[in-house]
Homo-oligomer: A and B are copies of this chain.
Amino acid sequence: METAARKNRGPSAGPDNRRALIVAAREVFSLEGFHAPLSAIARRAGVGQGSLYRHFPDRLTLIAAIFDENIASLEVIVDRESSTLDDYLAEILEQALVSSALIDLMMLERSDDRIQHLRTRITATTGRIVARERASGRIRADAATDDVVLAISMFAALIARVPEAERRHTGDRAWSLFHAAFAP
């Protein structure tokens, strides 16, 4: 019985539950969108409703936690000296749905602190890769970080709205437009 594994496991279950909730949230959100019932996430995580609320008092907090991980993985890429804007984009395309929602959120909930923080991080990260691209002459010298962020925003929003099957192909087409726009 899988119910064996789930009883009151006491405080030590805390971190595990948190992880399980984030994983479940990713799955559920990517299947049903960001309006999916929270109860579905708790169920999928094998965690009580109450625990979900303890870890993530509202939907936005949970979403922010997901974004956090995604940004971290972008940072890892940028930390690699050899990485290019294309690598960066490839990861964003991978993250498709989440990236897009992150951007939506960054656009809309400008006042929320948690989101402010994510915005700062992603802008900084993007700034670093842009600087490197400029230095290596792969993009125009006067390409502004803000414009690249804008392009990425549009890119992410687009691919999240495309059915998975066409995502790569459409992503390539879209990005080649921006290649042209930023070409030296």
A residues in contact (CB < 8 Å) with B: 35, 103-104, 107-108, 110, 146-147, 150-151, 153-155, 157-158, 161-163, 170, 173-174, 177-178, 180-182
Contacts and interface: CB of A to CB of B under 8 A. Distances in A.
Dominant SS at the A interface? helix
A107 B151 contact: no
How many identical subunits does the complex contain? Answer: 4
Contacts of A146: 173
A35 B182 CA distance: 36
Contacts of A103: 161
A177 B151 contact: yes
A151 to B, nearest CB: 6
Contacts of A154: 154-155, 157-158, 174
7 contacts: A103-B161, A107-B162, A110-B163, A150-B170, A150-B173, A157-B161, A177-B178
Contact of A163 (B107, B150, B180): B107
A110 B181 CA distance: 29
Q: Which of A35, A146, A147 has the most CB of B within 10 A?
A: A147
A104 B157 CA distance: 10
Nearest to A180: B181
B173 A177 contact: no
Closest 3 CB pairs of A and B: A154-B154, A181-B181, A180-B181
Given A146-B173, A147-B177, A177-B181, 8 more contacts: A107-B161, A107-B162, A107-B163, A150-B177, A151-B177, A153-B158, A157-B157, A157-B161
Contacts of A155: 154
A158 B150 contact: yes
B110 A161 contact: no
